[in-house]
Structure 1
Amino acid sequence: MSTRIRYGARTPDQLRNREVEATSVDTWAISMVAIYETDPELVAAVLPPPLAASAPEHVRVTIARVDVGRGLPPFGAGTFAVGAGHDGIVGDYALVMPMTTEQSVIGGRETFGEPKKIGDVRLELSGGLALGSRVSGSVTRLGVTFVEVNGLLAERLPTPEDGVRSSFYLKFLPAPDGKGFDDDPALVHVQRREKTRALFRVDGEMILRESRFDPVADLPVRRLVGIEIAERSSVQTGAVVRRLPQEDILPFAHQRYDNLSPVGEE
């Protein structure tokens, strides 16, 4: 009879942060990115201080199929983020990051403060990464497909040099008494060092649909800047850069959570 109790205390080696380790190695993904411009006042309205809108006011929508290897099936990953800046750094601030697996949700939320939620994220290519291939991407949560991107791979683009992309997240937990947070929220800066080995321009369209729980349609497309699809790897690192006053962040905490309470809004 085995005496191993898996809920028991773990050794220092077992306590290694697997999420940080997982984001610190090359993970290849097929990623479709659509960028569009919207109204400046709308971007400003969704940004908590001290973040400020970048110019031009853009939205970055990513739909990806991530291959984690180790014999595990790929998972779907989506991001809906607005352009933002802080302390001279230009990056983006995500409003929602749907993922298809619990494992990909929990680590990012609790380690980096990423606003991840379980959803159905699909990216399909009719003929693989080849000219003329039809691509279809969608993000669905709670019965609503609120983002859809469709098109054709129209042109192979030069492979870009390795680069770094910045993102900003808020890390916090609600207090158990329902009043504010456990502690002052943390502003987290994340850097993703990206490598690309194939890049294509997509001729297509993006559709935003009304959703009670993911109201991305409140930021309408004023001009579609472009759609690209790439085979890309990313190595992610993050750090807490400062603590923020609770009163500044409380008005934006609802961005993180679905209001499913029976006493909530109809």
Structure 2
Amino acid sequence: MGSFVKSIEYLKALSGHATTFYDAEMLTLYWETKPEIIAKLLPPPLKPAKRPLVHAFVANYPKTSFAPPYKEAGLFILADYNGELGMYCLSMPITDGMGMAMGREICGLPKKMSDISFEKNDNVLKASVSRHGIEFFNITASLNDKFNESDAKSIIDEYSPDDLPYFNVKYSKAIDGSGFDLPPTLVKQSITKDYKVTKDAEVRINMIDSPTDPWTELEVVRVLGGVYTVSTNVLLKGTVLEQIPPMTYLPYAQIKWDF
């Protein structure tokens, strides 16, 4: 029989389990935007890197260690923290409630429940992300082992390698809605990937403005290309970097909410 209260022994057993995504099927795509856009969207102490790189993904997770199968997407911008490069997450649509809760509460990710499609037929992959009846992100990829741009591979290898960490901000909003109960805290997390399939892709990106999911703010200046992968991914334990002054972070704190 289940219970709302779990024993310490049960919780200790759970704590040893890795957060694993088995045979994760992902399309990750890269484009360059304007440097001033990156500068506007990064909360201090994060700073723009030398390249105004954006990366987004759409994923199908057929099996995980913590939840039923679900789909997910993400939008990231390249950031510099005291000389260390990482990707700062602006948005992470998701189709599973438990995955959303875990990502928001433990990792600080701005996850929101969404409708996500992910369909692969031979060497063509089509995916889209919708919320509130607006399909704000739609992509088509030709998995032909070619990028859109000839220099895409060198840029991705230099600025978005597999071991690049992710930067997020954790916080707790005040009970009276006026600010924070717990101060905003910059955290870092990484993922390991064991690849089974890797294919470079030419991609077409179509974005529609949405008031609650403003992905169009990341203006596409140059599409570099995409990478289709099938891999087993393990989310590693995160680390705390530093606290952020509440009033400094307040303008950036709304990415988890629909205002």
Whether contact under 8 Å (1:19, 1:107) holds in the other structure is no
Q: Which residue of 1 aligns with 2:242?
A: 242
Cα distance in structure 2, aligned partners of 1:124 and 1:236: 25
Cα distance in structure 2, aligned partners of 1:20 and 1:101: 23
Within 5 Å, which residues of 2 pair with 1:1-266?
6-7=3-4, 9-16=5-12, 21-23=17-19, 25=20, 27-69=22-64, 74-127=69-122, 133-155=123-145, 163-237=162-236, 238-259=238-259
Residue 202 of structure 2 aligns to which amino acid in structure 1? D
Alpha-carbon deviations, 1:212-255, whole Å to 9, x = none?
10111112100001111111222222111211111111111112
Alpha-carbon deviations, 1:169-219, whole Å to 9, x = none?
000111011111002111110111222221112223011111010111112
Whether contact under 8 Å (1:195, 1:234) holds in the other structure is yes
Cα distance in structure 2, aligned partners of 1:75 and 1:156: 28
CA shift in 2, pair 1:70/1:86, >3 Å: closer
CA shift in 2, pair 1:89/1:69, >3 Å: same
Runs of 4+ in 1 over 6 A off after TM superposition: none
Runs (5+) with no aligned partner, structure 1: 128-132, 260-266
Task: Please report the TM-score for the alignment, with normalisation by the length of structure 1.
Answer: 0.85
**How many angstroms does 1:5 deviate by?**
6.3
Whether contact under 8 Å (2:144, 2:201) holds in the other structure is yes
Cα distance in structure 2, aligned partners of 1:183 and 1:155: 47
CA shift in 2, pair 1:97/1:12, >3 Å: same
Whether contact under 8 Å (1:64, 1:78) holds in the other structure is yes
Whether contact under 8 Å (1:163, 1:195) holds in the other structure is no
Residue 208 of structure 1 aligns to which amino acid in structure 2? M
Whether contact under 8 Å (2:18, 2:65) holds in the other structure is no
Whether contact under 8 Å (1:89, 1:166) holds in the other structure is no
Whether contact under 8 Å (1:154, 1:202) holds in the other structure is yes
Whether contact under 8 Å (1:115, 1:256) holds in the other structure is yes
Cα distance in structure 2, aligned partners of 1:22 and 1:235: 7
Alignment size in residue pairs: 247
Task: Please report the TM-score for the alignment, with normalisation by the length of structure 2.
Answer: 0.88
CA shift in 2, pair 1:10/1:102, >3 Å: same
Larger Rg: 1
Q: Which residue of 2 aligns with 1:264?
A: none
- Give the 3-state SS of the residue equivalent to 2:176 in structure 1: coil
**How many angstroms does 1:165 deviate by?**
2.6
Whether contact under 8 Å (1:91, 1:167) holds in the other structure is yes
Cα distance in structure 2, aligned partners of 1:72 and 1:21: 13
Runs (5+) with no aligned partner, structure 2: 148-156
Q: Percent identity?
A: 27
Residue 131 of structure 2 aligns to which amino acid in structure 1? R
Whether contact under 8 Å (1:186, 1:241) holds in the other structure is yes
